[in-house]
Structure 1
Amino acid sequence: MAIETGAKYAENLSLIERSQAGDDAATEELIRRNAGLVQSIAVKFCGRGTEFEDLVQIGNIGMLKAIRSFDAARGCVFSTYAVPLIFGEIRRFLRDDGLIKVCRPQKKLGAMLMRAKEEYLAQNGTSPRIDEIAAACGVSPEEAAAALSAVSPAMSLSEPLGGEGENFTLENTLCKEDENEKMLEKITLAEALSKLPELWRRIVLLRYFKDLSQQSTAEILGLSQVKVSREEKKLIEFLRRELSS
């Protein structure tokens, strides 16, 4: 897993400040520059029934959350802060589908880190920083963050996912209230979704299952908001036809 150098940290910090001020170009650049970090985490979950590219897109949701909530004043470098959010986003997605299994080495490291954390707290009366317990266990802060994320309890499924006030459900978008029962009796939504091309499937995942805005979806997919809007209209029309047939 890549370690964030001083130069990269300074570059990230400048872009984060611009992104948090509403600069969409800075957000896109941050996602691009930190793609290797997301990929290095996503690859750990390959072979569990989900395509690597899908894992990367889910990981990018965690990266987007990290960009929005990072506070340099806390004394943590951005990559260390982002790792548990990226890791956790993928983990929650796979746990929802019953696909995740934490490997023995991660469990062992996680337990070691937790013991180091408890010992530090007992000796100093305060909770340690992630880099302090990582050093005590001889691993990088990023590796420590990933291991702790792997063994910690799953976060609530009701946790806000960054939908920026939007509250859509795919069923309500596709069907009028009085048509839902009839359409769902004819064909399941899952069957219709399985026929979508890859881009449309990812838009559905981010917009309706992760409840992200069109702008956030565009940033993660590397597209314009206008492109996402157009593709969303096309896929909804396609699903309407499938559900009505």
Structure 2
Amino acid sequence: MHNPDVYIGTIKPLGQGVSSAIAKRQVDGSLLLTLEGLEGDEQAALEYHGGADRALCHFPREHYAWLRQQFPEQEGNFHPPALGENISTLGLTEDNVFIGDIFRWGDALIQVTQPRQPCYKLNTWLQCQDLSLQLQQSGRCGWLYRVITAGKVSGDRPLELLTRNSEMSVAQAIAIAYSMPFDEEQYRRLMSAAGLAASWQKMMQMRLLNRKIEDFNRRLFNSEKKE
């Protein structure tokens, strides 16, 4: 079992015409986790953030040491919750957390739905031009949850794995989505993972339909692919 640090934030301007709720603050004590997320937490750009399949963001605390090494000029910035996560723990990583895993957290039940998709707002927020790309290429993305049962949660209540529902780790999902060449068999394998977010089901279906991998540049850098 793993006791989490818990963070919430409200939407604020980041500059360059961009708004985000990436600036989080730690919450001590009990708070309500609803089907849409933690009470008092907000998300901007709802087509990419929030919603039933993306109610909570979890980023492993151990990744921050790697980030400080990668970006020494900004090392003072790399401490939880710098990446806008709601949950930070030690001991849970992309390698040992699986798509569809159901955890008990306090009175609530939550399920892993997808890896986080790093975006350009991280670059702006932490003043690192290729931070989102580095996270994606290294597989240090974190992951998202849906809330199966709402309830009271807190940092004093551990995350307890109840059921494992697939053989697809978050690390494997990241590798299939971002590091491999086009592979229909692997896309179908990922889609078969119980609990996978609807948006990831759609992403894999579109790859199979279009016979190509989508352009990552708009998400990673807020730019279109240059031919």
Q: Report the TM-score, using the length of structure 1 for normalisation.
A: 0.28
More strand by share: 2
| Bigger relative CO (Cα 8 Å, ≥ 6 apart) | 2
Query: As a proportion of its length, which structure holds more helix?
Result: 1
Q: Whose radius of gyration is greater, 1 or 2?
A: 1
